[in-house]
Every structure is written in structure tokens, then in C-alpha cells.
Structure 1
């Protein structure tokens, strides 16, 4: 199994006027390019910080992060930004944070593609995600689960091969969460790399690899 991410001694510190807070410390592991990798743990365990590191939104304070064999710490800012734009799609836990509410469903997909200097066929993406016929709808007409599905669709429109989701079911009712879990399984089956952080037992159960975190440290991988 090929490894997409390689983390060696990754740590993240935040400096405050009073003290230095360590969010994650000495995380060494790999993330495969197939399946669903889930980072599980209680609030404050460092899993969301680690997701931001993997998403190249936050550089580690120490350690080395390789993405597809490339040392991301050696890249200039423009190189990291290009990787984020072209390869990495992030889905945040609040559905509306992922979308532009003043645009229609299809227009959100087109706008996402344009950010990556690409074109897309909105109807094809919507059909793949079980949202066929909603292209002309406003975002407010979608359920929370449908909005999260569309957020994954925007990542597809950008041509991203890696999908990173931060607590994607935490703001949803059970039925809406089921839609998101089905989408994540579908995307993994289609060959996308899916990485999520969650304390939702149902999401953890669908993980093909589960990394458990506690107090900023890796507590084991199953």
C-alpha cells in the first residue's frame, strides 16, 4: 500500500504572552493513499490541529511532513498554496462554512473549479453524489447532509484527489449524517484519499485505519 503522507516527529506549539502551549507533539506515522483514515480522540486531543497540518494550512513547529514524497517544509509559500489548490480539498464541520450561500448549487461547483483554474460539469458531479436535479437550488434549500455532500462535490470540482474532513457529521442529525458517511465510503471506493477527524463512533467504524490521539500525542493505530 503506497503512503501518501509521511510524518516524522511532527509538533505544533502556540505561543501566548503567558506560556507556550503544545497542541501536538512528536507524531510519527504514515497515511496511505487509499481508504478512509480517521483521527479519533476527545476534544483538545490535537486531531483538528493535525488535520490542518496535513491540509497544509498550518506548518508544523518541528518535524518533517512529506506529501507524495515531497518535503512540504522545503517548499516556498507558493508551492504549498499550489498543492492545497490542486490536490487537497477541506470540508469543515459547519456545512455553510464550505459553501457560498448567495450562489446556486451548480454555481458553487463552477466557482470551486474556477479557483483551481479548471472547468467542471456540475450535473455529472451532482449525479455522482446523489444530488441530481438540485443544480438550480439555493444552498438554503438543501439539508445539512446535502450541503456536506455538496462540499465534497466542490473538492471534486477542483480536481482534488485528497479529501480532508473536520468533524463532518458533528452538526448533523442522524439521517443527514448517514448521507455524509455514504458519500465518504463512495469516494474512498472511487479511489480518493479520505481523511477525517471525528469523535463520532459511526464515522470511526467506517475507517479503514484509525489513529487515536490523546493530549496531543498519537495513542495507537488500528
Structure 2
């Protein structure tokens, strides 16, 4: 029996008021996100990728359509319930590495803070070892490279034991070497059976997706299912 999708979107639409009138940021998008593997939202800047990711992260309330998480309709959730769902189930990684971490804490303290916020426990050194950051637990965030900071951001998701990982352009502000670290981390998370949903126009990241949903001017152009090499 096929596994149920972790997210299911039907006819999702998002509008924004502007001085010139209402602008549609996402238009009639229907998409299922599998409970395992990586789905990539691909498209140029302004295509609606980040807006759709904000809808899935429960930061943006769609004007139209339905959204379910693990089969439950999230549109009817109150603010406190949405915040709790986000804290316990959704691991969010933003494109600017500094936005994902608490700069006044050490590397290990960031992991413990993420675990505490989600009501879980973690062993910092185990997570750091898994992500190639062994020995950095006592470092301040500023001592890490951009790629290492993004790796740590994904480590915080591991510490929180999130159900699904939402990553918005996680390589866009990194040099090639740092981006390589992030791509390796995404592959590791997929191997650990996480559901990963990444918005990106980085072709190297797009090539890692088992499913690629291509957006253009807020509309879904199509979904490509791919067999990836083992």
C-alpha cells in the first residue's frame, strides 16, 4: 500500500496587496509531498517557490485551496496549534546561514536549544560527528564557515527530531565549496529517511531531487519523478 504524503496541497492560491492592486504569488497549485526522500521546488526568482514554502511552513495562510499535514487539515488550526506543529514537526532552514542559528551560543548549545524547544533530547557530539563537524562543539557560530553554519542548521533539525525538513535556497548565499557541504548534508538526511522539501534554482541541488516540481509565475508547470542512482 503506497505511503500517504506528508503534505497534500489542492488548489493553493496566495495573494498580496500592492499599490497597483492584488498580485497573485501562487496560483492554483496542487502537489503531494512524499513522506520520504527529497522534493525540490524549482524555478527562477519570483516563481513562487519561497511563498509556497512559507505556506508549508505555516507562516503564510493561503487565500484559496486546502493544505493537509499527515492527513489533517491545517487551515483550521489556531495560532498556538500552528506554532506547536511547526516546533515539533517542521525543521526550517533559511537561505542566510546566520538566520538559522543563535550567534551568542556555542555550536553545541545551539543543538541543545533546538532540542529543548521541541521537547526532545540530543547528544551534540553524535550529531556533529554525523555532519562532519566533530570537535566544533565549543566553537562560537562566527568561527564556522557559511557551509558549516548551514550544516549546523540541519543538525538543529536532527536535534529537534523534526518530521519534515523545509529548506529555502540553502545554497544560494554560499561559495561552491560551502555549497558542496550542504549538498552532502541533504544526501545524508535523505539516506536517513527524512522528508526533505527544498526550494532552489541551484541546478546541482535540483539534480538531487527524486521529485522536481517546477514553478513559473506562481503556477505549477509540472512534476518530474526521477530514479536516482543508489
Question: What's the TM-score, normalizing by structure 2?
Answer: 0.94
2:227 aligns with: none
1:160 aligns with 2:173: no
**Equivalent residue for 1:54, pick from 45, 53, 56:** 56
**Equivalent residue for 2:42, pick from 32, 40, 47:** 40
**Equivalent residue for 1:110, pick from 109, 112, 116:** 112
1:113 Cα shift? 1.3
C-alpha distance in structure 1 between counterparts of 2:161 and 2:206, whole Å: 26
1:180 aligns with: 182
1:7 Cα shift? 0.5
Query: Alpha-carbon deviations, 1:123-150, whole Å to 9, x = none?
Result: 1111111111100011111111110000
C-alpha distance in structure 2 between counterparts of 1:161 and 1:205, whole Å: 23
1:17 Cα shift? 4.1
Query: Alpha-carbon deviations, 1:21-72, whole Å to 9, x = none?
Result: 1100100111111111000001000010000111111111110001100000
Unmatched 5+ stretches in structure 1: none
**Equivalent residue for 1:26, pick from 18, 25, 28:** 28
SS in 2 for 1:73: coil
Range with greater deviation from structure 2 (196-205 or 77-86)? 77-86
1:92 aligns with: 94
**Equivalent residue for 2:123, pick from 121, 125, 138:** 121
**Equivalent residue for 1:197, pick from 196, 199, 206:** 199
C-alpha distance in structure 2 between counterparts of 1:164 and 1:75, whole Å: 20
Question: What's the TM-score, normalizing by structure 1?
Answer: 0.97
1:18 Cα shift? 3.4
**Equivalent residue for 1:137, pick from 135, 139, 142:** 139
Count, aligned residues: 222
SS in 1 for 2:6: strand
C-alpha distance in structure 2 between counterparts of 1:55 and 1:48, whole Å: 10
**Equivalent residue for 2:214, pick from 212, 215, 219:** 212
C-alpha distance in structure 1 between counterparts of 2:165 and 2:99, whole Å: 16
